[in-house]
């Protein structure tokens, strides 16, 4: 395993950890059902993305790095906006 692949494994592990933490926050620490559902949905998607990123750590080839970056950026943009919407109370127009 190259050093670069090990670093991506750490990123995937941290993403999975954050998914579990946010899922627990949504399930136990939030009183409003809509906010809890948003946090739980985002955590589910982040957990799926973390598993895919972990799988991509072993990928080799021309587009492996682009695939890792795409998954990470997609996770931050998609799940991050749902987390912000849930935790900061952003409303959609």
Residue 76 belongs to some domain of the structure: yes
Residue 67 belongs to some domain of the structure: yes
Residue 37 belongs to some domain of the structure: yes
pLDDT digits (tens, 9 = 90+) for 24-64: 988 898 888 888 899 999 999 999 999 999 999 888 888 98
Q: Is there a contact between 39 and 83 (Cβ–Cβ < 8 Å)?
A: yes
Residue 93 belongs to some domain of the structure: no
If one counts the domains in the chain, the total is 1
The position carrying tokens 């021309």 is 62
Domain that holds residue 75: 3-88
pLDDT of 92 strictly over 70? no
Residue 39 belongs to some domain of the structure: yes
Q: Which two tokens stand for residue 9?
A: 């494994």
The pTM of this model reads: 0.85
Nearest to 43 by CA among 20, 66, 27, 9: 20
- Reported confidence tier of residue 3, pLDDT bands at 50, 70, 90: low
Predicted confidence at residue 88, as pLDDT, reads 85
């Amino acid at each position: 395993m190259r050093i670069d692949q090990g670093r991506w494994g750490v990123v995937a592990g941290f993403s999975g950890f954050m998914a579990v933490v946010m899922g627990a926050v949504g399930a136990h620490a939030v009183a409003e059902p809509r906010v809890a559902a948003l946090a739980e949905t985002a955590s589910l998607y982040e957990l799926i993305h973390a598993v895919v990123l972990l799988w991509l750590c072993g990928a080799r080839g021309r587009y492996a790095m682009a695939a890792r970056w795409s998954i990470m950026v997609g996770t931050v943009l998609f799940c991050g906006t749902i987390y912000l919407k849930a935790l900061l109370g952003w409303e959609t127009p």
